[in-house]
Structure 1
Amino acid sequence: MAQVIANDKRWSLQGKTALVTGGTKGIGHAIVEELVGLGAIVHICSRTKSDIDACLLDWKAKGFPVTGSVCDVCSRPQRQSLMETITSLFHGTLDILVNNAGYATPTSTVDCTAEHFSEMMASNFESAYHLSQLAHPLLKSSGAGNIVFISSIASFMAFQVVSVYGAAKGAMNQLAKNLACEWAKDNIRVNSVAPGVIRTTLAEEVFFFLLKCKS
């Protein structure tokens, strides 16, 4: 699909640079391959080095221009280190930032601990907020920057045992609106995408938990 679209110059990302957080699995992995198919040069991050190495080996065999580095997006110092890597790798500019990394651990509201709340907000919202801040000068330097937040249908609809996750994704949607207005003057476009249920490892874990609760 990406190869067909890439033949249409209106959809070409030839030579554009992109950072995709959480790019080794699920939606993030698919986004990387789509961006590359459209001509982009991509850098990914993940918490697990072995996952990065496996993906890079596969992409290298396919001739995909993808690099990667370890980053736990819940860690502020690691986010700063990631953006330093991007600054060096892409020579001070960045065309596309895809804030994809995040996860949902099923927990009922009454059982939600302070630690769980902090983890969900850090992985799903705080990381995206801070990375957008750090990326701003690079996106501005590109002259036509783009930020894409990967939100969730849980930001609009109510589901059991993911109240904090849904709230974090809802905050992400509002952040996208604010940044779209605030950074329009810098030629930075901002969008939030809220997919429904997609069969990924994360989704399977959540649904297994829900089925277990009903049994």
Structure 2
Amino acid sequence: MTKEASPPVAIVTGAARGIGKAIAHWFLARGQCVALIDIDEPKLAACAAELAAGHGDRVLAIHADVSDRAAVQRAVAQVEQAFGSIDALVNNAGVAVFKPAADTSFDEWRFVMATNLDGAFICAQAVLPALRRAGGGSIVNIASISGLRASTLRVAYGTSKAALIQLTKQLAVEWASYGVRVNAIAPGPVETAMAKAVHSPEIRADYHASVPLARYGLEEEIAAAVGFLCTRDAGYVTGQVLAVDGGFDAAGVGLPAFRTAVG
């Protein structure tokens, strides 16, 4: 099969559930090949089996920790061996510790940084040679609205996502000459299984009051934004942070009561 006839190939980290799984489905629904990387082996196997049921040999599951440089390098080599090339990387793998700054241990701080920041850097470096061989490609980092605005209980998570946004810009500037575009998505509150499980009615009500669109985002909406940034339609977009957040960041400190009054 010639390069021109081969479907594009994307790597999605943290792909076993939630937003990562939705992103993988977006690529597969458009005829692309997807390598799923996740540290949770049982959930990864279940996700891969579900996706492969409709997309056959275009799905590759790799159990790996993105903070382990050697494991990531092996995973990237496995993707190239299976599919022949790599066109996109979505750094979605992430963890969180929600504690007051004074109570967050250094080990907890490093746990978050190792995955959210180090992992994205390790994966980007590992994939770069393949993207260059392909003549260019796209990297999308999944940041967070917490990387754009401060919030309580997020000293490690928010700082890691703010650093990820800066990493995005840095790589975009340095790797543009290789034809590699690097952008970030900053989701607001998203209707994931975890959010449904841990967000109390009070938290949900506060989010609905604070987000101008007055709802949680959908995993599929985040996936669609990621997918767009990996297409040729976004060929002149690099170094950008797209907040997919229902207007949450734009509202800033605006009081929900004022927005209600306008309505």
Q: Partner residue of 2:256?
A: none
Q: Partner residue of 2:140?
A: 148
Letter of the 1:134 counterpart:
A
Identify if the C-alpha distance between structure 1 residues 206 and 124 changes in structure 2 by more than 3 Å, giving closer, same or farther. Answer: farther
Aligned counterpart in structure 1 of residue 20 of structure 2, from 12, 25, 28: 28
Q: Partner residue of 1:42?
A: 34
On the 8 A contact 2:33/2:83 being kept in 1, the answer is no
On the 8 A contact 1:106/1:206 being kept in 2, the answer is no
Matched, 1:180 2:175: no
- The number of aligned residues is 197
Instruction: State the SS of the aligned residue for 2:153.
Output: coil
Q: Partner residue of 1:97?
A: 89
Letter of the 2:81 counterpart:
S
Matched, 1:74 2:67: yes
Instruction: Tell me, in whole angstroms, the C-alpha distance in 1 between the residues paired with 2:190 and 2:121.
Output: 24
Instruction: State the SS of the aligned residue for 2:126.
Output: helix
TM-score (norm 2): 0.70
Identify if the C-alpha distance between structure 1 residues 112 and 204 changes in structure 2 by more than 3 Å, giving closer, same or farther. Answer: farther
Instruction: Tell me, in whole angstroms, the C-alpha distance in 2 between the residues paired with 1:87 and 1:61.
Output: 22
Letter of the 1:46 counterpart:
D
Q: Partner residue of 1:87?
A: 80
CA drift of 1:77 comes to: 2.6
Instruction: Tell me, in whole angstroms, the C-alpha distance in 1 between the residues paired with 2:54 and 2:154.
Output: 38
Aligned counterpart in structure 2 of residue 164 of structure 1, from 141, 153, 156: 156
Instruction: Tell me, in whole angstroms, the C-alpha distance in 1 between the residues paired with 2:146 and 2:123.
Output: 22
On the 8 A contact 2:10/2:90 being kept in 1, the answer is yes
On the 8 A contact 1:104/1:206 being kept in 2, the answer is no
TM-score (norm 1): 0.85
On the 8 A contact 1:139/1:145 being kept in 2, the answer is yes
On the 8 A contact 2:36/2:48 being kept in 1, the answer is no
The gaps in structure 2 that reach 5 residues or longer are 1-5, 204-263
The gaps in structure 1 that reach 5 residues or longer are 1-13
Q: Higher Cα Rg: structure 1 or 2?
A: 2
Identify if the C-alpha distance between structure 1 residues 206 and 152 changes in structure 2 by more than 3 Å, giving closer, same or farther. Answer: farther
Instruction: Tell me, in whole angstroms, the C-alpha distance in 2 between the residues paired with 1:60 and 1:164.
Output: 35
Matched, 1:109 2:92: no
Q: Partner residue of 1:4?
A: none
Identity of matched residues, %: 33
On the 8 A contact 2:87/2:131 being kept in 1, the answer is yes
Instruction: Tell me, in whole angstroms, the C-alpha distance in 2 between the residues paired with 1:189 and 1:39.
Output: 21
CA drift of 1:206 comes to: 5.9
